[in-house]
Amino acid sequence: MATDRLRINNEIRAQELRVIGAQGENLGILSLTDAQAAALRAGLDLIEISPSAVPPVAKIVDYGKFEYERSKKEKVAKAKVKVSETKEVQIKVGTGDHDMDLKAKKAAEWLAEGHRVRAELFLKGRYKSMGEEFLKERLERFLKLIPYAYKVAEPVTRSPKGFAGVIERDVAAQQKREKELKPKNEN
């Protein structure tokens, strides 16, 4: 919204405006000259806040203060937005159990941070001709090692490099899991 340039005072083109006063009171529909005169009497600016309305809505306020409040609201809104990425973890048919445990823990960290995780079973050479059921089971076995509640966003399917599936966190299931683990740890 900060990139949208608001029309103020003499930049306003509409001949009639619905005007909101300095204290938030509705002054009704006024002509442009009457609205500008009211703003001048108050020692403030006339800002067109809703140009697409019929008639356009204008407010009598201090422009500097109005812009400051608007930028503060935008910063708060921007801070609340969480960027989520799709992280990728790659295993091979010959990946050892310890390495799979480490990769599963890393995937759990990413899930806890709110990212999606793409788990990929990388196949090269002879492994590409192995049984599809065996390969899918290998990838699903890895997914079962992840110590964080997740839901399947995209099921395990064949990909250009082998087999891949995408998972994302399941907050409700994770909270339930943590509640079940608490009594065990307290005893």
- Top mean pLDDT of 19-28, 116-125, 146-155 is at 116-125
Q: How far apart (Å, rounded) are the C-alpha atoms in residues 141 and 133?
A: 12
Q: How many residues does the chain have?
A: 187
What is the C-alpha to C-alpha distance for residues 31 and 184, in angstroms, rounded to an integer?
A: 73
Sorting pLDDT into bands at 50, 70 and 90, what band is 4?
Answer: low
pLDDT digits (tens, 9 = 90+) for 39-90: 888 888 888 888 888 888 888 888 888 888 888 988 888 877 776 788 899 9
User: And the tokens for 134?
Assistant: 């065996």
pLDDT at 36: 85
- The CATH number assigned to the domain with range 86-186 reads 3.30.110.10
What is the DSSP track for 42-106?
HTSEEEEEETTSSSPEEEEE-HHHHHHHHHHHHHHHHHH-----EEEEEEETT--HHHHHHHHHH
Domain boundaries, the chain: 9-78, 86-186
Instruction: List pLDDT tens digits, range 30-40.
Output: 888 888 888 88
pLDDT tens sequence across 137-187: 888 888 888 888 888 888 888 888 888 888 888 877 777 777 777 765 555
Closest CA to 178 of 108, 87, 103: 108
pLDDT, position 3: 46
Q: In what order do the strands lie in the sheet with 26-31?
A: 26-31, 16-20, 57-61, 45-50
* pLDDT (0 to 100) of residue 131: 82
- pLDDT value at residue 175: 77
pLDDT of res. 2: 43
- Two tokens, residue 104: 């599963």
Q: Contact 112/82 with Cβ under 8 angstroms? A: no
Angle (CA) 156 91 143, round 5°? 50
Tell me which of 1.10.287.70, 3.30.420.40, 3.10.20.80, 3.30.1360.120 is the CATH number of domain 9-78. 3.10.20.80
At residue 98, the pLDDT reads 92
Give me the pLDDT at residue 186, please: 56
Whole-angstrom CA distances from 140 to 32, 54, 59 are 68, 59, 60
What is the CB neighbour count within 10 angstroms for residue 181? 10
The model carries a pTM of 0.51
In contact, 61 and 47? CB cutoff 8 Å: yes
Strand partners, 159: 162
